[in-house]
Structure 1
Amino acid sequence: MRPSTADPAAEAPARTRRRGEELKQAIFAAVMEELRTTGYANLTMESVAAAAGTGKSALYRRWPDKEAMLRDALRGTLPDPDEVPRTGDTRTDLVALLGFLQSVFNDTSGTLFQAVASEAGTDTGFMRTLVNDHVVAPCKVRIREVLSASPTQADTPAGDLDLLAEVGPAMLTHRCLTGEAAIPDAYVADVVDVVLTRLAGG
């Protein structure tokens, strides 16, 4: 019998060795995909490594556990509300800031917020805290700054401004968590014009 001349190793496609920023971005993309498909509770370092096409050691060289990896993945993939341009016009700036949240919700197809919803009832609340710290809370701060700078709100008590700043993010978050389709621009405009403007007495 003639020995096979085929070399399985030679026939297998060569695996591209990625390093540095390229590998990190592949890992971050895998984190988001695993959140979408399996949820936070079932996400593991092993599943992310497999989805990214790399070994677990590549992850553990960078992060001690999945929580640290998730923090960096969010920092590396989510936009920064501080980068939203401010014009000084109250309506324009409110629409822009809620548009920031809209883009996060739409671009991740609700991944982050579905992960938060699936964590309801657990002891840690890690994802709820993470999403709030990196997305929702910074947006509320910027919205409050816009409202407090508005001439129509000069006499509004600080506590009332705090509550007003929560309304828009709460409405968009609720829409996302309840499984609605992508948030349209018209909905963002209505939240500002129909809800915030009337509540603020503008």
Structure 2
Amino acid sequence: MGQRTGAQATEDAPTTRRRGEELRQAIFTAVFDELRTTGYARLTMESVAATASTGKSALYRRWPDKEAMVRDALRSTLPDPHAVPLTGDTRTDLTALLSFLQTVFNRSSGTVFQVVASEVGAETGFMRSLVNDHAVAPCKERIQEVLRDSLTPSDDMNADLALLAEVGPAMLTHHCLTGEPSIPDDYVTEIVDVVLMRLTKA
């Protein structure tokens, strides 16, 4: 009886019997583990299947390639910025919105964000676009709304607020990309109190 090839051995390896959402979450966990340990460039459908203790056919039934799989995995971790409750108090609301972004960047230990920003950003930029479209851009819009309510109206106010709304998210992104493992609560508070609140008339 002939020996099986390496590909056959991988596909035929014992798997854990899981289905539906349980298997989907196990695959996503494996995706993040692989991103942390090997990076996006070396991540493969086969390596994720092995880490998730499932067959690679289970992955290909759900996604055509690793980009689609990683995109869905990250999307599953992103909270909804529109779900952040606003109170009408400028400092409280700015802190809540920046804390939302803090959660986005800290999720998956922040390492995933660093990996996709450095590796994928140089290739297609799809992951940066995903994070921006689903989290950063909507959060900036809500920050601008909070600032608009706190400042004295003027003819060029919208242009000023659009720029000011960039400050907090840009500082959080920079902090993440400098290699820090996570964004601490104190840093969020400093951005609000030392930078944003001094630029408002709240």
* TM-score normalised by the chain length of structure 2: 0.84
Cα distance in 2 between the residues matched to 1:105 and 1:20: 27
Cα distance in 1 between the residues matched to 2:67 and 2:149: 37
Q: Equivalent residue for 1:149?
A: 149
Inter-CA distance 139–26: structure 2 relative to 1 (3 Å threshold): same
Q: Equivalent residue for 1:180?
A: 180
Q: Which moved more, 1:68-77 or 1:87-96?
A: 68-77
Cα distance in 2 between the residues matched to 1:109 and 1:188: 17
| Aligned CA-pair RMSD | 2.0
Question: Does the 8 Å contact 1:147/1:161 carry over to 2?
Answer: yes
Inter-CA distance 121–90: structure 2 relative to 1 (3 Å threshold): closer
User: Alpha-carbon deviations, 1:95-143, whole Å to 9, x = none?
Assistant: 0111111122223221232123422772312222222222222221221
Q: How does 1:44-193 map to 2 (within 5 A)?
A: 44-119=44-119, 122-150=122-150, 152-155=151-154, 157-193=157-193
User: Alpha-carbon deviations, 1:34-68, whole Å to 9, x = none?
Assistant: 22222222222112111111111111111111222
Using the TM superposition, give the Cα deviation of residue 23 of structure 1 relative to its aligned residue in structure 2, in angstroms.
0.3
Amino acid of the residue matched to residue 86 of structure 1?
A: L
Question: Does the 8 Å contact 2:97/2:143 carry over to 1?
Answer: yes
Inter-CA distance 200–186: structure 2 relative to 1 (3 Å threshold): same
Amino acid of the residue matched to residue 80 of structure 1?
A: D
Give the paired residue count. 188
Amino acid of the residue matched to residue 44 of structure 2?
A: T
Cα distance in 2 between the residues matched to 1:67 and 1:50: 18
Where does structure 1 lack aligned partners over 5 or more consecutive residues? 1-13
Q: Equivalent residue for 2:22?
A: 22
Question: Does the 8 Å contact 1:153/1:200 carry over to 2?
Answer: no
Q: Which moved more, 1:110-119 or 1:85-94?
A: 110-119
> Between the two proteins, what is the percent identity of the paired residues?
73
Amino acid of the residue matched to residue 36 of structure 1?
A: R
Amino acid of the residue matched to residue 20 of structure 1?
A: G
Q: What SS does the corresponding residue of 2:132 show, helix, strand or coil? A: helix
Amino acid of the residue matched to residue 101 of structure 2?
A: L
Cα distance in 2 between the residues matched to 1:195 and 1:54: 49
Cα distance in 2 between the residues matched to 1:149 and 1:74: 33
Cα distance in 2 between the residues matched to 1:121 and 1:186: 29
Amino acid of the residue matched to residue 16 of structure 1?
A: T
Using the TM superposition, give the Cα deviation of residue 175 of structure 1 relative to its aligned residue in structure 2, in angstroms.
0.6
Q: Equivalent residue for 2:34?
A: 34
Where does structure 2 lack aligned partners over 5 or more consecutive residues? 1-13
